[in-house]
A = this chain, B = another copy of it.
């Protein structure tokens, strides 16, 4: 089961370290979805004091990555088909607009980063084929970098950061799939390549259509997985 027990690895303050570790473990699923987050346990899990722990939890709860009820502490937000649908539709609405703006505003360096991150994504499969899931997940890093690069040229900072939030929430669901599926490598690359080509050729409508479809596809797969695995949450009161 899950075990970490790092102590240091602090860039600066203990709170920041706690935020990073917590975020990682929640997005990854190392902390199971509907479970309770008792500060005592987290405290000894990460070797960080209670105060920075609470501060980190407060920060993440404001960001929607942790739930907080008034005098009943914190818990990992449960996964639900309803939320996944909300996330998916929101991304299809917003991220697509961000992409549109990025395409019309993007310069050469924007294109370069897209190409570079794509090749990193592509090369991941050539080297590390057999491993289905590595814990620190290099693949996720590269995938995130590619999707980040796409909308990096969107001039609206707030919209971009909202997209990042949505992407992170979607990642929680996506990582869930990893155990069940081996995620057919070639297919994934093809998907992303056509998307990239549409973007680089400044074909706005094509890129938008492609991006919309890309989000829809992964969502469909995930919804299917969700439907067949109603077991979630280890603690009582799973309901949202």
User: How many residues of A sit at the interface, in one of the four size bands?
Assistant: 20 to 34
A63: chain B residues within 8 A (beta carbon) = 62-63
The yes or no answer to A217 lying at the interface (CB within 8 A) is no
Question: In the complex, what distance in Å separates the CA atom of A97 from the CA atom of B90?
Answer: 10
Listed by A's residue number, 28 A-B pairs whose Cβ atoms lie within 8 Å are A12-B71, A13-B70, A13-B71, A15-B58, A16-B70, A51-B54, A54-B55, A55-B55, A55-B58, A58-B58, A58-B59, A58-B62, A59-B61, A59-B62, A86-B157, A86-B158, A87-B158, A89-B156, A90-B156, A90-B159, A93-B97, A93-B156, A94-B94, A94-B159, A94-B162, A97-B97, A158-B166, A162-B162
Copies in the complex: 2
Question: In the complex, what distance in Å separates the CA atom of A159 from the CA atom of B60?
Answer: 18
Those of A1-32 within 8 Å (CB) of chain B: 12-13, 15-16
A169: chain B residues within 8 A (beta carbon) = 158
1/0 per position for A52-68, CB-CB distance to B under 8 A? 00111011111100000
Question: In the complex, what distance in Å separates the CA atom of A90 from the CA atom of B154?
Answer: 11
A157: chain B residues within 8 A (beta carbon) = 86
Write the nearest CB–CB distance from A125 to chain B, whole angstroms: 32
User: Are the C-beta atoms of A159 and B16 separated by less than 8 Å?
Assistant: no
